[in-house]
Structure 1
């Protein structure tokens, strides 16, 4: 018998690269890099080192300056790094130049997020939406390392005419695939529209928020269903989930939607607009906020801006400040719930809870019940809705 070896898939190792404008604090830059590292680890990529350059705008040729690029190249060669990830989107020419200079696979932020969505998507609709967004993003950025559209393709790509022919072949393939996916998505969207119409006559509530703030945990808590997936990871929910919930005999439909994130790829928002119809057609939005996060206010701004882009910025909303169990009392230097929160908006109501520790959950359910009941009575004026008890 001949010798044989058992081989495991080698862990991909990467370095992260970010620009830090002069006015941006080191803490904020580090926070952005931590998020980028979390994104990379979600794809199973191990971060080896981070590189930061103080620069107000990217270098037009290579994103970072010549000296920083040489520093990255030396590290990549010495440590046998196979991926370099940038915390911003690269232009097609920057991508080509960086791959030629560094001779490794280059990721920018959008491509990283698109690959995570592709990994997370379960339903035919979500898979089609992500594939379409990814092809549209890759189309102008095809290089020798991205031929055959596989992240796993090894080596440093082919050289010369053969590589150019492969790129042209892939471009034609992408154009054909985009056309096929658009038709498929139109068909799926029509089916989804029919399903949504069948839900008319029922109050609809949608969970929204930054990624990894606890939306799925809150959905699980309200639905009392064990099979709803809730885990401490980015984009745990890509497919929208809809469940019927009843509080005090008053029914409503609750949907969990994909988490938003800073610099969410525009192509992805466009492709996911049909899934996000759940948000646009909701009567009430539950905007879940991780109040323990140091930049929760910035995350809220990202969510509110995305809602406005989707045409849902003026919806009636309960702002659910989650994870209060991770904060100390004001006397201990924790967050003072009476300050720093917008209480002037008539369309927004605030509640502070811990979904995991069940803190203030009864009050949250009562508040949600009152809002749902109000909408339910607009649909069924003669319904004898009970008071909350």
Structure 2
């Protein structure tokens, strides 16, 4: 085998070839040059070699194109297999954390979510039929649902045609990120939600016994048809909560940036789930604002408040006190923020 020949042999062979060439008579070298370089046979060989080279380039291009097509088919097939595996994992009736969060992220990102998707404990958790209650709830950890790369018209269409009736009753949600997401007429009854970051999103439905903890509901909306959920240590900057003025509402340790106070809906009548984002809103009453820690917003070098997206999440700072303002002082300093009127559609879809 050539690979077994020591490397020092090749320079020696090259040197010997050079020595041999120098010892060949000059007339013989001229004859060889005429025959193999300047002769008609040589020209024919060059032409044939050029054609073969061109043909090789064409065939190489065709092979590369076929390889890319094969890889695309392979990627499509592999992606379809991943989606199928994700659905199997998502709908497997097993409680606990078995990767359902990653599966939900994948199928949602692929646009595979249908209406009436049932991810409740009874459907995909460990359900105790004898007791008629949830044994081990399904856990959906580290879920990312994001439509943030869409235009205003695309977002409005996505909100209007969002899958209705998604059920997460009795499930445990942890470390979720939702951006430009709409879940109308959903079932969150008895759901525990720990560590959710919602931006420009809308949840509506049933929240009896639900609990939000360590949450950032930034310019998002939660509309409940019946009993409101508990809110524990949450940032509700610019959030729209239709129950926030309800005496039955239970919340503790709420914060908001003083220039982004929470809102509620003007219309107190029952609203059709898919029409919620069209309903006018208003700032909550001052009696409610006084129960919320209104934090002084961070400013730039010129003393202007930083854009909301540039600020650190308040839920990340819950263990540290913020510099608060009285509701009356906040209203005086940021009058435009407290005179706000407009629907979610007006606020979200101007992109």
TM-score bucket (shorter structure)? under 0.3
Q: Give the TM-score normalised by structure 2.
A: 0.27
Which structure is richer in relative contact order (CA contacts within 8 A, separation 6 or more)?
1
Would you tell me which structure has more strand in proportion to its own residues? 2
Greater helix share, 1 or 2? 1
